[in-house]
Structure formats: C-alpha cells, structure tokens
Structure 1
Amino acid sequence: MQEYSASFEQQTDSLAAEQNGDLAKKIEMRLDDLEAADTPSWKRSAFKFMAAAAVLVLACSSIFFYYASVDGNKHTALSKNTSIPHAKAIYGGSDKVLLILSNGKRIEVNNFTNGQLAVENGYSIEKQSNGLLKYRKINTAAALATGNSNTIVTPRGGQYCVNLPDGSKVWLNAESKITYPVAFSGNTRKIALQGEAYFEVVHNPNKPFIVDFDGSNVKVLGTHFNICAYGDGEIPRTTLLQGSVEVSKGDRKK
C-alpha cells in the first residue's frame, strides 16, 4: 500500500487508475489463494476483512492524491500568473462603519437611521436617509477654525459614502480608512487614505485637492478618480475616470 500510494502521488489520473486496477487484481488473486489454502475459517474471514479494508483505504488515498495534485497545480498556476491583493486590517473588534471625531470619540454609523451624529468646527455631521454621511455648515465663524480632523473606517465586507465639508464625495471600499480636516483651510484640501476609495472632487482652482497614500499623493482640481492603496506590498494604483490628476512620489511626478 505504501509503495502504490507513493506512486499515485506522482502519476496522472489515467496512470493512477490503471495501477489501481492492477493492484485490485493482485489483491483478488491473493484472496483466491487464501480460499484455497488450509486456513481456519476465522482467519480467512479476518484476512478478507483486512484485505477489503486495504482496498477501501487505497482507493480513498488514490482519489485524495489525485484531487490534491490537481488542486495544487491550480494554485501553482494561479500564484505564477496572478497577483492577488490582500486587504490589510485597519481596526479590529468591529464590523461597523466608524466615524472617529477629533476628540477620539467613535460613533458606529450603522446604529443611526438618519439625523445628526455630531457637531465639529461649525459643521453638523448628519446621516441622510440614503445612508450618505454629509457635513452641513451651521456656524461660519467656527468653520474657519483649524486643526480638527475626522476619520471614517469601513470594516471587512463594508462600503460607505461620505460627502466632505467642501462638497466632494468619497466612496470607501472595504477595510479602508480616510482622514480629513473638518474645515479645509489654507491653500489646499488635503486628506489621507489607507485602502481604496473613489473620489468625485468639487472643482476649486484656488484650492487643489490632495490625497496622501502609501508615500505618494494625487493632486487634482476637480475630477473623478479611484485610488487603491492597501499598503500590503501591492503597488498603489490610481485610476482616472474623468479630468486629470498629478501623481507624485518624492521628486517624481507624472
């Protein structure tokens, strides 16, 4: 059995089937010999039982080795020809979409149907009936303050859309995180991304929109594009749907 089992692992299915048939014939011949021999009936029954068990085990082994070999070949071919990105876990212990405020408070967005979730820097953060998280300015003076940032985190298998304070929309894919200022001040609108997100940026030539991710950044004035940057060894990718973007890393720009 050990000899034939080892050979099945190395052979194709056709050869394995042929060898299996040959071995079955040999076992049958030995059973015939046992019948003819002057052996007590209880011993013959025991031999038959063991031989039958051997055939069953060998048949199961040959089937296992065949499918294991086929499956192994598939995995080998896949690993050689296909690059599979693996999402990097960002926050554990929750399957909810999280809104993290500037003071560290975490709000599980899924627990709200609609209405106001919080107030930050003169903006009311509201979940609308369609599920979109929107920033609505309620205090112009407070909205000019700087330094406060919010973060949206999506769980594995989850997606979410947020309407940023400047009106730009961001759709986050699973296991992604985006951090952005509650009030865009200065000459740029700068945010940070880990994971994957699709952007529809409101045009503002005086305030370029910049996305930092994995040591690179994308600069736009107003356009539609996608960034995939899970940071797990895969090359970050920026996909442009409409308009133009400038991708830069260090001194290199394109």
Structure 2
Amino acid sequence: MLFIFSENKNTPKKFTQMKKLLLILFLMITTSGAFADTYYQDSLKCPLCDKIFEITEMGSMSSFGSTYDFQKQGAVGDYYKLMVKSCPCCRFSGYTSDFLNFSNHSDTINLIKHALVKYDTIEMTDITECELAADLYKCLGRSKANIGQLYLNASYLLRSDSTKTNQRIQMQDSAAVFFIKALSMEEFAPNQIATIEYLIAEMYRRTGKFEKAIVYYDKAINNKEQADWIKEIATKQRILAIKEDDNNEI
C-alpha cells in the first residue's frame, strides 16, 4: 500500500506536519514488519507411538549475513530451535520430514526404540533434541553430512551460553568428525568440498585444536574448486588459528 499526500499553498502548516508524522510512522511500521520472523501452528503424528501433538513452524524470516561458521543472522527468530521436533510421548526426534516419511519396518522400529532408551531419564531441551535426532540418524544409516549438520545446529544454540562451553565444544567436535567422514565417503559435490573443509577448520579453531584447524584451512585455500570468497575468509580465519584465538562469537 502506498499513501500519497498532496499539498497546496492553502494547506495549514500544522496539518502538513501531522501528515508527515503519520507517513513516518507508517513507514516505520511497515518496514519493521517486512523484516520480522513469523510462525504458524501445525500438528504432527509420531510414526513410532501414533501420538498427535502440536508444533510451531517457521513461516518466514529475513537473514542478513552469517557468522564465520555459517549461522544465519538477522530476523531469524527461533529458526534453529524449531528445526528439530520431538514427540512428547516417546521422544522420537527429527525434522518434520522424518515424521512424515518414516519407514515402519520392524527392524527400523527396534533400532530406534533401542536408541531412545538412554534418553528416558534425560531432560529434553533444544540441544538434546538435536543429539537424539543425530543418534537416530546413525541408527538409520543417514548421511554423515546430515548427522554433522545436527551437531552444528546444536553448537549454534549453545553459542551465547557461557555456562555450557564444554557442551558447545563437544557439539563442534562431533560436527567436525562427521563432516570429515562425509568427505571420505564423497557425500559432497566437488564444488562443495572447499566449503566443508573450511567449516571443519572453523570447528577445530573454535575448540582450540589450532594445528588441525590450520591443516583444513590450507585444504580449503588450496582446493582448486573453491570459490573466491572461501579463499578470502579461510585466509582471514587461518590467521586467528595461528594466533591461537578460539573466539566463538564471530
């Protein structure tokens, strides 16, 4: 919607000022709304225990750049918190698609039930949901890259919590391990490899494993398939590793 205010020499000055103020307020409201994150309610049926439960899904968001480990920044709201869903009854966890496209083969069900046992007495949090989903992915033989991504998402959720530094480091170490396995199994296209090598280097730098970080920064920098932007940021972040700077805020 666009408001057009016309004026002439007979328009009272006070009225003109009021219209301008209303225009400014309108622009402020519409602009702030355009960059907000939005949500909607939905429901899921657990494929393991048939429990139907309510979930919140992300409707829209506005991302303006990212941190150096690729966490989206901007009006992203609870984007990372809402990624993984968990059944409130049996605790089956995964992305929404995991609930909708589940194979109910008896062997699969038994594997999942066995994996869920260790979570019976553990408090479910956003972090636990990611860990549980990763364990289920291991049972189901999902790609190492997808497992690594779940650990990476958990590390994002722990970024600003200084009381859980050790847990954050554990998630980043696990992400690095599974991304390395994914590389060895050729799960990435050639033009994606340098990006993953850089991300592994970032995980190691952030956990204080500087020598390993430098190895993977060098792999990314020297990868012939790498994009120019990867070489630029890998070179920049490599300097931090040389200085033994494990800053996790950037």
Instruction: Considering fraction of residues, name the structure with more strand.
Output: 1
Q: TM-score, normalised by structure 2?
A: 0.25
Structure number with greater Rg is 1
Q: TM-score, normalised by structure 1?
A: 0.25
Instruction: Considering fraction of residues, name the structure with more helix.
Output: 2
